[in-house]
């Protein structure tokens, strides 16, 4: 059965991996850099995270992921952080973020639920069709 975004977010291993990425992105007024990664399904069915190389202040490079597979494992979600909280920075997913997910033919696997965008206040989900919805408060998910 395909996973829901809510199920992925409530997986404790995934939660702590996302929180680690958030911490690593050094959130603050303007000193942060983006971090991100794929949530993949391991051969035993469990979920884990494969991190991307660190990004810049407001952009991050996604490594190749042909046919929605990375490291030989099915990609079920992707994520990146928006760590800069200053007013020059967009907290919600940008038009570029939405287009990047929507137009990526290698992010259209049967299992793929979308890309989480983690901001200080809210965790968003960009669906494979490029639609944005708010998933939850970041502090609720991270329990801080």
Summarize as ranges the residues that interact with Zn ion (CB under 5 A): 97
Nearer to Zn ion, 49 or 81 (CB): 81
Nearest distance, CB of residue 118 and Zn ion, angstroms: 10
Nearer to Zn ion, 74 or 124 (CB): 124
- 55 token code pair: 């990004």
Nearest distance, CB of residue 97 and Zn ion, angstroms: 4
Nearest distance, CB of residue 93 and Zn ion, angstroms: 6
Closest residue to Zn ion using C-beta atoms: 97
From 46, 23, 19, 29, select the one nearest 123 (Cα to Cα): 19
Nearest distance, CB of residue 1 and Zn ion, angstroms: 30
| Other C-beta atoms lying within 10 Å of the C-beta of residue 75 | 22
Q: What CA–CA distance (Å, rounded) separates 68 from 88?
A: 33
Specify the pairing of strand 115-119 against strand 122-126.
antiparallel
Distances (CA, A) of 20 to 32, 68, 73, 94: 14, 24, 21, 23
Nearer to Zn ion, 35 or 97 (CB): 97
Nearer to Zn ion, 74 or 125 (CB): 125
């Amino acid at each position: 059965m395909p996973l829901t975004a809510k199920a992925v977010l409530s997986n404790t291993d995934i939660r702590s991996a996302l929180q680690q990425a958030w911490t690593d992105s050094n959130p603050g007024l303007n000193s942060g850099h983006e971090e991100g990664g794929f949530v993949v399904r391991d051969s035993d069915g469990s979920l884990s995270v494969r991190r991307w190389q660190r990004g810049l202040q407001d952009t991050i490079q996604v490594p190749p992921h042909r046919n929605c597979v990375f490291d030989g494992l099915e990609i079920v979600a992707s994520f990146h952080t928006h760590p800069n909280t200053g007013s020059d920075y967009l907290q919600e997913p940008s038009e570029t973020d939405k287009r990047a997910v929507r137009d990526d033919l290698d992010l259209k696997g049967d299992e793929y639920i979308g890309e989480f965008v983690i901001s200080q206040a809210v965790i968003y989900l960009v669906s494979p069709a490029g639609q944005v919805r708010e998933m939850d408060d970041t502090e609720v998910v991270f329990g801080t």
